[in-house]
Structure 1
Amino acid sequence: MSTYNKMLVAIDLTEEAPQVLNKAKAICDAYGAELFLVHVVEPVGYAYGGDIPMDLTELQDQLDKAAREQLAKYGDQYGVPKSHQIVTVGRPESEIHRLVKDQGVDLVIVGSHGRKGFQLLLGSTANGVLHGTQCDVLAIRIH
């Protein structure tokens, strides 16, 4: 069995995040690994189709600031240093893949709702992370 040294936990900052964080922290402690928290803020243009002729910079900045504040609260609660709390803007799968390479991560931990059908085991983000990364991925079932 391989040893994990760096774990990246991707959370969505909802009330369900502690379900993922509690298990991730326990796994991290068991391996004595470094823990990184990441939240990816999707660009506002994606949500609005990118065709609206208006400046959405202020809204994007507000979303980014709110995400940083919430991630910092989780970081403090779970003992994750500021240097390991990452908020980035982009597509979640792409940003997580980039961080895995940049940080030398060997385990990504994500939450999964366990929906039915094609997404039976993984949500779309978790599925995208699984199929594009070079390291192990652990999906924590969210109830």
Structure 2
Amino acid sequence: MSAYSKILVAIDLTEEAPQVLKKALALSEQHGAKLILAHVVEPVGYAYGGDIPMDLSELQDQLDKAAREQLGKYGKEYGISEDDQIVTVGRPESEIHQLSEDYGVDLVVVGSHGRKGFQLLLGSTANGVLHGAKCDVLAVRIH
């Protein structure tokens, strides 16, 4: 029996995402594991402090649509079926934890910029995922 049977790779949609995806794909091939691709869109209200007296739902819908399109491109490029591509809205750390439980994954792969000092105190998504996960977490160093 292999160590991992389901791997969740949580990516942002920057030019660095392929580094994380390639590592997760290699792991899924080594272990014969199913690969699930996820991206979390942060609620627009978070980015603006939640105090803007306007309807931001159209902007949120546009961000969600753009994320689904980009995730679809990565899915096609890396051979991940549409059924295994997830876009959700919320706080990245908590959404990734929930997805890992909902899908019964045994490894979460995320990117990490390797921040130190003050930046580390502010927290990062990789750090947040690591500290609340109920499964293994691999933080892929992004260079």
Q: TM-score, normalised by structure 2?
A: 0.95
Q: In structure 2, the residue corresponding to 1:139 is in which secondary structure?
A: strand
Amino acid corresponding to residue 141 of structure 2 in structure 1: R
Q: Secondary structure at the match of 1:77?
A: helix
- Secondary structure at the aligned position of 2:140 is classed as strand
Report the Cα offset of residue 61 of structure 1. Answer: 0.2
Q: Which residue number corresponds to residue 22 of structure 1?
A: 22
Task: Kindly report which structure 2 residues correspond to 1:1-143, keeping only aligned pairs within 5 A, or say none.
Answer: 3-117=3-117, 124-143=124-143
Cα distance in 2, alignment partners of residues 140 and 77 from structure 1:
20
Q: Deviations over 1:57-101 (max 9, x none)?
A: 000000000000000000001110101000000000110011111
Unaligned residue ranges in structure 2 (runs of 5+): none
Q: Give structure 1 regions of 4+ aligned residues with deviation exceeding 4 angstroms.
A: none
* Percent of aligned pairs sharing the same letter: 79
3-state SS in 1 of match to 2:40:
strand
Counterpart AA for 2:97: H
Contact 2:43 2:89 in 1 (8 A): yes
Q: Distance in 2 between matches of 1:98 and 1:23?
A: 22
Aligned mates of 1:2, 1:117 — CA distance in 2? 37
Residues 114 and 141, structure 2, Cα contact 8 Å, conserved in 1: yes
Q: Which amino acid aligns with 2:107?
A: L
Normalization by structure 1: what TM-score?
A: 0.95
SS at match of 1:116: coil
Contact kept, 8 Å, 2:2 with 2:32, in 1: the verdict is no
Q: For 1:45 and 1:10, how far apart are their aligned partners in 2?
A: 22
How many residue pairs get matched? 141
Taking structure 1 as reference, are residues 134 and 94 closer, same or farther at Cα in structure 2, changes over 3 Å only?
same
Give the superposition deviation at 1:115.
1.5
How far off is 1:119 after superposition? 5.7
SS in 2 for 1:51: coil
CA separation in 1, counterparts of 2:102 and 2:58? 28
Structure 1 stretches lacking a partner, 5+ long = none
